[in-house]
Amino acid sequence: MDAMAIGREAVMLCDRIWRNARLATLRSDRSGLGEVPDGIVACRDTRIVYAGATVDAPAGLDAADRIDCAGRWITPGLIDCHTHLIYAGDRSHEFELRMQGASYAEIASAGGGILSTMRATRAASEEALVESALPRLDALIAEGATTVEVKSGYGLDLDSERKQLRAARALALRRPITIAATFLGAHAVPPEAGTADYYIERVCTEMIPAVADEQLAEAVDAFCEGIAFSPEQTARVFAAAQAHGLKLRLHADQLSNTHGAALAARFGALSADHLEYTDLAGVLAMAAAGVVAVLLPGAFYFLRETQRPPVELFRLRRVPIALATDCNPGTSPLTSLLLTMNMGAILLGLTIDECIAGVTREAARALGRLADAGTLEAGKFCDLAIWDIERPADLVYRMGSNPLYARVWRGQ
Ligand code: DI6
Ligand code: FE
């Protein structure tokens, strides 16, 4: 081999390199946040080709575009793995009623709650749904979000659910963001359905097959709760979803213990979410099945819940913990993953590292997207958040200020 060929082989050219940075890689083969005090991230064709210590970088790694991060911290782009971002209407009046003493359940049974959002969502065009969701999405993006899950569940008939899912996916055409769409037809019983059983039948035999056929969602979720659907009805939804190759998520044990966590585990769901009332048996089942616990401190706060999810048991049994906004008009009008992390620490007792992992690596795991996102590792999408902070704890500590310096989605 001649010298030139050797020289050429030694050069590993990529599109862009972020250098002189401190990294929180979140790699699970490293302890804590997988911190690298003097690191670089290199990107080619939307994917990371190297993320790690500058001294360990492959010889000859170079790029035309080399960005000096001046010692700033880089984390994986943030991931909001549980939102109801697409909806129409306004529920601030219900908030006023709640502040005057009405309960969430009372408002719901008086025709408010999910059904009031359903009426507004049915009446809205797909474009209007996209437009009204963009400010909420932009708030998440402004804090470094690069992947956002979006659920349907305010249409509650096939055409309106389709419209909601199309609007969710259209968000990705309007902003540089990865959208993961989830079908939540089993969110509430629409008035025209009569009984819950009849509606669940429609969900299983008409809606799920159509959603799967048209590839409108990658996962199916359900609201398993005393005020919503029973474990038995939820099991029917899960069986239909599995028959159509869709992933499973579950709103479980939020307001009471209906053994939703164990049900999610029995079906091999990716995640069970909320989990305030989950008991030891539920935690053990989740641990055995590898179900991610998605904790939603925004809803816990907004509903003034007092029963905390069993965080110590999750830790002890090594159940992965993710955190998300649950952004929705009724119980968590929250569009900040930074504040979500702060609430995770203060209200739920999570550590700093658990909070940061909860909106990156573990959120990716909850979406079944760990191969593509959630850590700074070669092969994953180059989704980065670059922060003006001294220590990672700054991300969890602050309330209401945003230290994001730059956000990178797929290398751009
Ligand atoms: N759990 C919740 O807290 C929300 N949905 C759900 O499944 C409530 C949604 C709403 O009130 O609009
Ligand atoms: Fe939710």
Asked if residues 354 and 344 have their Cβ atoms less than 8 Å apart, the reply is: yes
Provide the pLDDT confidence category of residue 5 given band limits of 50, 70 and 90.
very low
Q: What is the pLDDT of residue 9?
A: 55
β-pair partners for 116: none
Residue 146's φ and ψ, nearest 5 degrees, are -120, -15
Residue entry with tokens 């730059």: 406
328 alpha carbon – ligand 1 mean position (Å) = 7
According to the model, what pLDDT value does residue 29 have?
A: 95
Q: Please tell me which residue, 284 or 110, carries the higher pLDDT value.
A: 284
Q: What's the pLDDT band for 321 if we cut at 50, 70, 90?
A: very high
Q: Is the pLDDT of residue 4 over 50?
A: no
What is the H or E stretch that residue 301 is in?
helix 297-302
- Token code pair at residue 137: 């999405």
As given in the structure block, the two tokens for residue 402 are: 């945003």
Q: Whose CA is nearest to atom 10 of ligand 1?
A: 330
The protein residue with its alpha carbon nearest to ligand 1, atom 2, reads 331
Over residues 54-75, the mean pLDDT reads 96
Q: Measure 124 CA to ligand 2 centroid, in angstroms.
A: 21
Calculate mean pLDDT across residues 180-194: 97
The tokens describing 174, both together, are 């309007």
Is the Cβ atom of 140 under 6 angstroms away from ligand 1? no
pLDDT band at 109 (very low <50, low <70, confident <90, very high): confident
**How far is ligand 1, taken at its centre, from the CA of residue 154, in Å?**
10
Which residue's alpha carbon is nearest to atom 3 within ligand 1?
331
Is a pLDDT exceeding 70 seen at residue 13? yes
Residue 87 has pLDDT above 80, yes or no: yes
**Cα 209 from Cα 212, distance rounded (Å):** 5
Which ligand minimizes its atom distance to the CA of 253?
A: 1
- Exposure of 402 by Cβ count < 10 A (0-12 exposed, 13-18 middle, 19+ buried)? middle
Mutate to test the pocket of ligand 1, among 114, 152, 233 (most ligand atoms within 8 A of CB): 114
What would the DSSP string read from start to end of 84-97? Answer: -----S--HHHHHH
* pTM value > 0.95: yes
pLDDT score recorded for residue 111: 83
Q: Are the beta carbons of 34 and 27 closer than 8 angstroms?
A: yes
**Which residues share a beta bridge with 381?**
47
Q: Which atom of ligand 1 is nearest to the CA of 91?
A: 12
Q: Is the pLDDT of residue 7 over 70?
A: no
Q: Ligand 2 centre from 150 Cα, in Å?
A: 10
Q: What is the mean pLDDT of the chain?
A: 96
What is the maximum span of the chain, computed from C-alpha positions, in angstroms? 82
pLDDT exceeds cutoff 70 at 121: yes
Residue 170 burial (10 A CB sphere; 0-12, 13-18, 19+): middle
The CA-based angle 350-311-285, given to 5 degrees, is 140
Q: pLDDT by residue (tens digit) across 127-174? A: 999 999 999 999 999 999 999 999 999 999 999 999 999 999 999 999
CB of residue 187 inside a 6 A radius of ligand 1: yes
pLDDT at 11 over 90: no
- DSSP 8-state secondary structure symbol assigned to residue 374: S
Give the residue carrying structure tokens 């170079």.
Answer: 62
Looking at residue 368, its amino acid is G
DSSP 27-72: -TTSSTT-EEEEEEEEEETTEEEEEEEGGGSPTTEEEEEEEE-TT-
Model confidence pLDDT, tens digit, residues 354-412: 999 999 999 999 999 999 999 999 999 999 999 999 999 999 999 999 999 999 999 99
In angstroms, what is the span from residue 166 Cα to ligand 2's centroid? 19
Contact (Cβ atoms closer than 8 angstroms) between residue 5 and residue 400: no
Cβ 366 under 6 angstroms from ligand 1: no
Q: How far is the CA of 97 from the centre of ligand 1 (A)?
A: 17
Taking ligand 2, which is a single-atom ion, which protein residues have CB atoms under 5 Å away?
A: 326
Mean pLDDT across the stretch 212-241?
97
Whether 116 has a pLDDT exceeding 90, the answer reads: yes
Measure 159 CA to ligand 1 centroid, in angstroms: 21
Residue with the two structure tokens 């991610």: 292
> The dihedral of CA 334, 366, 351, 382: what is its sign?
negative
Ligand 1 pocket member 116 (CB < 6 A): no
Strand spans (E) along 152-297: 178-186, 219-224, 247-252, 271-274, 292-295
* Tokens matching residue 69: 């991060």
252 touches ligand 1 (CB under 6 Å): no
The answer to whether the CB of 330 is under 6 A from ligand 1 is yes
CB of 87 shorter than 6 A to ligand 1: no
CA angle 152, 158, 160 (to 5 degrees): 55
Given the DSSP bridges, would you call strands 12-24 and 35-44 parallel, antiparallel or unpaired? antiparallel
Quote the ligand 1 centre to 299 CA distance (angstroms): 9
Ligand 1 pocket test, candidate residues 328, 332, 334, most atoms within 8 A of CB: 328
